[in-house]
């Protein structure tokens, strides 16, 4: 017998959305497949890597281990909610904190959750906060520096340079 669909209402990146989901679908699947918000990445799909981190009611959690139906009425924020002007995105850019970029959406959302609580976190606090997000490229240094810079309102080496124009093709998909 196919699973009965359930209508789920939640707030995603500021929009109220209603989406039909199967009880066995994870929030990650619903975001990526149901709502076509593919910014949130699927790495291991079993809680090991942190690539799927999103903010659920403001807290960084793993979307691959969250049942979508348990998100009824809750507030989800994904990487698509961050604009090009966001100090964190800018700092990641300026510090080269993303290489292949696969961990970046998860790192950004973890960092977003951290900065909402600690205005200017120490390097140690940052390392603790991102310890559930694996990065295979950067060696973490640039990521820690980027988050620290965003917390302190610095742009790093490129402080003097004006912001580049946003990429013309880039527009957040509306769910």
Partner 1 sequence: MLPLPEFTVHTPASVDEAVALLAKLGPGAMLLAGGTDLLPNMKQGLHAPAHVVSLQRLGALRGVRREGDALVIGAMTTLDAVAGSAEAKTHAAALAEAAAVVGGPQHRRMGTLGGNLCLDTRCRYYNQTAFWRGALGYCLKKDGDTCHVVEGGRKCVAAASNDTAAAAIALEATVVLTGPAGIRRLPAADFFVADGARNTARREGELLTALEVPVRAGRVSVYEKLRRRGAIDFPLLSVAVRLDREDGSARALDVVISALAAKPRRLAAAQKLGAADLATLPIDTLADAALRECNPLPNIEGDVVWRKQMVRVLVKRALGRATSLA
Question: Contact between 164 and ligand FAD (CB under 6 A)?
Answer: no
Sheet strands side by side (includes 59-62): 15-21, 6-12, 75-77, 53-56, 59-62
Residue 131 near ligand FAD by CB under 6 A: no
Minimum CB–partner distance for residue 155 and partner 1 (Å): 27
CA-to-CA distance for 152 and 174, rounded, in angstroms?
31
Report residue 20 as tokens: 């039909």
Burial label, 4 (beta-carbon count in 10 A; 0-12, 13-18, 19+): exposed
Candidates 48, 57, 59, 72; binder of ligand FAD (CB under 6 A) is 48
Query: Looking at residue 161, what DSSP letter applies?
Result: S
Window 115 to 174, contacts with partner 1 (CB under 8 A) = 128-129, 131-134
Contacts (Cβ under 8 Å, ≥6 apart) of 13: 37, 76, 77, 78, 80, 81, 172, 175
Asked if 81 touches partner 1 (CB under 8 A), the answer is no
Q: Cβ of residue 134: shortest distance to ligand FAD, in angstroms?
A: 10
34: which 2 tokens? 């149901």
Nearer to ligand FAD, 48 or 59 (CB): 48
Nearer to ligand FES (CB atom), residue 47 or residue 164? 47
At 138, is the secondary structure helix, strand, or coil?
coil
Q: How far is the CB of 160 from ligand FES (least distance, A)?
A: 26
Compute the distance between CA of residue 75 and CA of residue 15 in angstroms, rounded to an integer: 9
In the complex, the smallest distance separating the C-beta of residue 156 from partner 1, rounded to whole angstroms, is 25
**Is position 47 an interface residue for ligand FAD (rule: CB under 6 A)?**
yes
Q: Taking CB under 8 A as the rule, does residue 58 contact partner 1? A: no
Residues near partner 1 (CB under 8 A) are 2-4, 6, 22-26, 29, 42, 45-48, 50, 53, 59-62, 65-67, 69-70, 110, 128-129, 131-134
């Amino acid at each position: 017998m196919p699973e009965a669909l359930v209508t789920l209402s939640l707030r995603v990146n500021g929009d109220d959305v209603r989406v039909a989901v199967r009880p066995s679908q994870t929030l990650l699947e619903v975001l990526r497949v149901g709502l076509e918000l593919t910014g949130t990445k699927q790495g291991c799909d079993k809680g090991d890597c942190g690539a799927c981190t999103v903010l659920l009611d403001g807290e960084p959690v793993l979307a691959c281990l969250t049942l979508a139906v348990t998100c009824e009425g809750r507030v989800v924020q994904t990487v698509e909610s961050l604009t090009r002007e966001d100090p964190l995105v800018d700092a990641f850019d300026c510090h080269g904190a993303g290489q292949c970029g696969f961990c970046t959406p998860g790192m950004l959302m973890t960092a977003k959750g951290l900065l909402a609580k600690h205005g200017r976190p120490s390097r140690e606090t940052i390392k603790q906060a991102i310890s559930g997000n694996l990065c295979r490229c950067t060696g973490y240094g640039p990521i820690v520096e980027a988050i620290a810079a965003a917390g302190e309102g610095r742009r790093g080496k490129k402080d003097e340079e004006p912001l580049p124009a946003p990429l013309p093709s880039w527009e957040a998909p509306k769910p």
